[in-house]
Structure 1
Amino acid sequence: MKMFDHVVLTCVDRFRGERTVSGIYHLLTGKRSSQTLQDAKGYELDRLFGIYPSLKREQLERHAQALVQDGLIQINEQSFPTITSGGAEQLSSFPVDELKHFEGMVWHGVIPTFVKRVYLLLQMMANSNAGIHHYVPIVDDYGTQQWVRTVYHQFQDKLPKMVESMYEEIHHLLKKHPSNQADLFAYRLTGGGIIGMTIDQLKREFGLNGGDVELMLQHTHYYLFLESKKKKDQYPVLHLCTKGLDATHLITRSARKTYQYIQQGLSLQEIMNIRRLKKSTIQDHIVESALIIPDFSIASFLSEQDVQEINKMGIQMNTKKLKQIHEALNGKYDYFELRLALAKGQHAIKEGMT
């Protein structure tokens, strides 16, 4: 079973027929909306949030249809997929090590920068070592090129040693990584007269589809990043590539402004007047704050008793579907209150597990 299959099946399984293929698409591409954030947290899919930013909607839809044909999922008339017993069997047989390093919700925002730094730094150092001074940089990004130039000038006299260290660090880490993923990464590297393979070339060379190649490379990128980020002494050159790259603070700038006004004690109406935004937009910001900030107080909107009642009903019915919970509670709470309570409930569940 391939990685793309596994990731899509995991999403279908966790969503329990309560989200469409579009919901999976928004999750994997990392759409920064309160709905997608709530899905990631509520269905415990935050590790997969934003891990496949280049995914195309049509590509995912085609893949979902292939899973239907293979009897692994079913999609009803309303476009809600559910997993079959065959799909569940496939899911449980997938080796956990193959994707254990994904930490999308926390790190998806900085992984692309890390990757560009690693590829370009390797190219620059290997070429410099080989006496190649005129070449086209494989990363066409001004910020990354400037970063690499700075490193070059700072460590010019230590370059041969750095090249050696970087290769050793990567080799050491890849030895402990699934070999198929390690090979894909190695074939991608450019420098010293060697040109790395494109995604299409890797597909042909390894007999994989594009989704598998992208995800397996991404998983390796997360692995290299996380290991070198926390083990500076063991992986000094790779650690250098993680400098200044910190955890994504997922609360959006606009939501942060709303959050600050709430902290100052302003009411929803007052914030709407000041910010000249629709009520639904401000409510989205409040839900986003409740999802991301564990100690965010929602006492001005819902009592502790209300939060417990809503979450208890969701657990009893085994659903995150607002419509079902709304009906079960006879319309006692509006949809904003339900979303807010479920967002708060996520933190309570996490705390109970620790």
Structure 2
Amino acid sequence: MFDHVVLTCVDRFRGERTLSGIYHLLTGKRSSQTLQDAKGYELDMLFGIYPSLKRESLERRVQPLIRDGLIQINEQSFPSITSEGTRRLSSFPVQELTYFEGMVWHDVIPTFVRRVYLMLQMMANTNAGIDHYVPIVDDFGTQNWVRTVYHQFQDKLPKMVESMYEEIHHLLKEHPSLQAELFVHRLTGGGVIGMTIDQLKREFDLNIEDVELMLQHTHYYLFLESKKKKDRYPVLHLCTKGLDATHLITRSARKTYQYIQQGLSMQEIMNLRRLKKSTIQDHIVESALIIPDFSITSFLSEEDVREINNIGTQLNTKKLKQIYEALDGKYDYFELRLALAKGQHAIKEGMTQDEA
């Protein structure tokens, strides 16, 4: 799975981003550049799906892909996919990645996972008459949440235990079998101790990155299915309560956005916030990326936005330097980034209208 994710990124980046771009995308770096990459190259679903990924792990896993002729790296360290890589990419079972929606949900998935694992431990132990045990989740907020659920539904606990088992069993039956097995072997409770990631790696003869990504995909699957089907999966749905979509605009960027909405100029915001011009520009680009109806007319006209995006389309590139040179330096890099960010919403609106 991990190799497929890397190949997908290399393919979508079209030789215009280094391995650093892939690393920042998968770990969910909150920079305007990474957000722009996720949106511009249509990799939203993979944003932040692997926050614990180590840089050296990515570099190590790329080497066999180069050796097997699936990707090639040029003198400037930009990887691109080969025809063999494209063939390998097209042969991967799509359903094994269907549920990743990183850009929207990466922030809340960890909380959901902690709740589910601790709820299962609590229920299994209660069912087995085990009163004293060490919680597998060392997080006070999660422990308090599960404790509250326990006291609130104490009289209905046997029914909840049965329901949660049925819900998970039903969902995992419809899920790729290896991913389902990995998830089940992670569970702790009722005298059973779940396996560690290293133990799963050895037991199933997998790379550690594949184990972690497969578990992540199962977590997204359980979350999304139970989030939208409350009546079908009531106990799992309970674990999604209060976990809403991420709008991915950082607190600092949100403050800048509010000042812009109030009509303040960039210079006024810089003075008020005591931040560098480049930082405020990053905030503006982030706002344009995330908020569809964010107006940028105080920075660029609609004609400017069209001109910049048309050149990008003609050159089939998102590389700012190429677009800058093609336009003979008519726009600075901030204006180019802003126009491309705005252009993403226009493309998606056009696709939606075509589908309709």
Q: What interval of TM-score do these two structures reach, taking the shorter chain for normalisation?
A: over 0.9
Give 1:241's aligned residue: 239
Equivalents in 2 of 1:156, 1:79: separation in Å?
A: 58
Within 5 Å, give how 1:220-239 maps onto structure 2: 220-239=218-237
The 1-side partners of 2:83 and 2:175 are apart by 30
Q: Secondary structure at the match of 2:195?
A: coil
Shift of 1:317: 0.2
The answer to whether 1:57 aligns with 2:91 is: no
Q: How does 1:116-135 map to 2 (within 5 A)?
A: 116-135=114-133
Q: Offset of 1:207 from its aligned partner?
A: 1.0
TM-superposed deviation, 1:11: 0.2
The aligned runs of 1:191-206 (5 Å cut-off) are 191-206=189-204
Task: Give the TM-score normalised by the residue count of structure 2.
Answer: 0.98
Q: Distance in 2 between matches of 1:351 and 1:250?
A: 20
Counterpart AA for 2:184? A
Can you list the C-alpha shifts for 1:144-191, whole angstroms capped at 9, x where unaligned?
Answer: 000010011111111111111000000000011111111111111111
Runs of 4 or more, structure 1, over 2 Å off, are none
The CA distance in 1 between the partners of 2:95 and 2:117, in whole Å, is 24
Q: Distance in 2 between matches of 1:204 and 1:69?
A: 25
* Match of residue 73, structure 2, among 55, 75, 87: 75
1:250 aligns with 2:248: yes
Which residue of structure 2 aligns with residue 264 of structure 1?
262
Distance, in Å, in 2 between the alignment partners of 1:151 and 1:66 is 47
Aligned match for 1:162, one of 160, 163, 166: 160
Distance 1:336 1:49 in 2: 23
* Superposition RMSD in Å: 0.6
Q: Which amino acid aligns with 1:28?
A: L
How many matched pairs? 352
Question: When the two structures are superposed, what TM-score results if normalisation uses the length of structure 1?
Answer: 0.99
2:98 corresponds to which residue? 100
Could you tell me how far apart the structure 2 residues matched to 1:139 and 1:67 are?
36
Aligned partner (choices 275, 292, 298) of residue 273 of structure 2: 275
Q: Secondary structure at the match of 1:223?
A: helix
Q: Can you give the 5+ residue segments of structure 1 that lack an aligned partner in the other structure? A: none
Aligned residue among 3, 23, 26 for 1:25: 23
Q: CA deviation at 1:77?
A: 2.3
> Which amino acid in structure 1 is aligned with residue 285 of structure 2?
V
Residue from 168, 171, 174 that aligns with 2:172: 174
Distance 2:238 2:203 in 1: 32
For structure 2, the 5+ residue unaligned runs are none
CA distance in 2, matches of 1:206, 1:75: 31
Q: Distance in 2 between matches of 1:330 and 1:225?
A: 49
Residue 289 (structure 1) aligns with: 287
Give 1:279 shift. Answer: 0.3
Q: Among the aligned pairs, what percent are the same residue?
A: 88
